[in-house]
Amino acid sequence: MQDNPTPIPLWRQLQGAASLLMAVRDGQSMTAALEDVDAALRPGVQSLGFHTLRWLGRAEALRQQLAKRPPPPEADALLCVALALIWTEHDAPYTAHTLVDQAVEAAKRGDATQHQASFINGCLRRFLRERDDLVARSEKSPQAVWNHPQWWIDRVRKDHPGQWQAILQANNSRAPLILRVNERKTTQAQYLLALSAVNIAATPVGKQGVILASAQPVPSLPGFAEGHFSVQDAAAQLAAPLLLEGLNTGDGQGARPRILDACAAPGGKTAHLLELADCEVTALDIDARRCTRIAQNLGRLGLQAHIEVADAGRPQDWWDGQPYDGILLDAPCTASGIVRRHPDVRWLRRPTDIAQLAGIQAHLLQALWPLLKPGGRLLYCTCSVFRAEGDNQIQTFVAHHTDALLMPSPGHLLPQSGAEATVFPDNLMREHDGFYYAILEKRNP
């Protein structure tokens, strides 16, 4: 018989979460920083790291009150992690006493923080004594209230004056695990039964989506190895059906539509296209390692596409001259719509990133449009709530391309966290990330 593994002490996990925060402050994504964390520590560190980044604006406002001059970076990160975890009693994952004790222990055992242990102890104990007053004073800071940088708050408010508060609130919620059922292997109803048989609670969303009541290790879910599902947010599950709807197959002889997935990695939308239609798909991505992931994901699902490592913005390097019936352009963007899943994004982005990425998006649209057949459709999408990457981008493109007809399209889907519903063609979706969709049809000359 194997002994139960020794529980990992909280102080070690707090050290790990502080190292994640320092990495994000240095401009590194949390996903990349997590790869440097010991595998045994990773789940706990990730959970604490996510919590910290969701409440970082509040934690920093409180730290500024407790210490007018910021302590050294390592001590500041550890203190902010602790404050994010205990600033409110109702959402705190640990008791205040335990948290303070383990945060001080983490400081004592860190080479760069051991001389700051008494300072951290003093700050946290003062916070507990004066919690109500300190939290009330932090309410004066929009960054503390909304837990986003000020420029981000201002931008969302300008772009969505009627919904900006709901967007920011949704960003601070935990995103559930959502699956897309592979209809070539099973159905939504059958898969819900398969989950129920192993006591996993889940509900349907959209036509192929399944929301798990609580997160599970994906490879352990029923039908994973057999390719019965993929992990994909409900908003992203709209891409393939939107492109395929009304798609012109070209010659009227039953030829398979030729479709280009222009920025395809990791292959979720490529797979969805192949699951829904008998089509010939070219999956393109500039990153060779990410193309390997496309191949792995398609292999598990029992699907095939032509995968090519290339820059979608330079068709002269890879295009065979045969026009496409459909093009899916899931363009690089700020990822401002998927902050629930990637809470580090808001702290990594800079205001200048929006214009830079909008320039890349415009270049991709310009480069790919000539590859589309007359009568063909291009679906442009981004996982962004910023209008510069959505409505504004498409309105500018249509104004400069008289052969581009903007079809009825979803436009901006704002992040939803179960509380309010967005009605989308015969679907009631209460749970999805922020996305933008525009369907462009090429008019016959």
Which residues carry out catalysis?
383
* Count of other CB atoms within 10 angstroms of residue 255: 11
Q: Which amino acid is at 357?
A: L
The Cα–Cα gap between 334 and 41 comes to 29
Could you tell me the two tokens for 131? 């919690």
At 49, list the tokens: 């790291």
Backbone CA torsion sign across 320, 321, 322, 324: positive
Q: Can you read off the two tokens belonging to residue 217?
A: 């290790």
Buried b (16+ CB within 10 A) or exposed e, 314-348: ebeeebeeebbbbbbbbbbbbbbbbbbbbbbbbbb
